[in-house]
Chain A
Amino acid sequence: GAGVSQSPSNKVTEKGKDVELRCDPISGHTALYWYRQSLGQGLEFLIYFQGNSAPDKSGLPSDRFSAERTGGSVSTLTIQRTQQEDSAVYLCASSPHMTGTNQPQHFGDGTRLSIL
């Protein structure tokens, strides 16, 4: 597709269950970002992937959160043993990478996660 695709668009699950959120970046974009946007809050950086480099995981809030990026393309954000405070919109973005500069990030529409 032409843009960043995220699935599912909405996810409702019970507290304690594991969830997987998927992000398909724009073809050719080597940088991929995950953010979390809680109700009434700003965007919170979670994790950043760039090519084959080790990801920047400094924003992950706890060890229940993990993310993978397979083949330098699709990424999966996994939340284990979900808690009610994990309820938020999870946004993925991608950008091309040019040495020494950033390029604009292109965002998906997000996955709205609700923990009951």
Chain B
Amino acid sequence: DTGVSQDPRHKITKRGQNVTFRCDPISEHNRLYWYRQTLGQGPEFLTYFQNEAQLEKSRLLSDRFSAERPKGSFSTLEIQRTEQGDSAMYLCASSLGGTGDLEQYFGPGTRLTVT
């Protein structure tokens, strides 16, 4: 069990550019979540997958955001035409889901800075 990993850890981009983040969950976990955390706030739910199916998306996830989990393992979160308001920490978490454990294991996050 190597834990949840995220890549990159930091990303600086110019406004208008596209960025993509990757999350590798704990291998046997079937649920994967994306959260966004801005300074001084708690994490806010963005979207989640059960295996490869995206089951829920928050209204925070505008049309510029897209997430995939093509083979039910790793996931990517893409932000198109970035805006300064997108600057935040993007957190990924995974869980066994439906087994009664309910614990979500978080990765270290990807800090995005849009200049």
Q: Do A and B bind each other?
A: no
Measuring CB to CB, which residues of chain B are less than 8 angstroms from any residue of chain A?
none
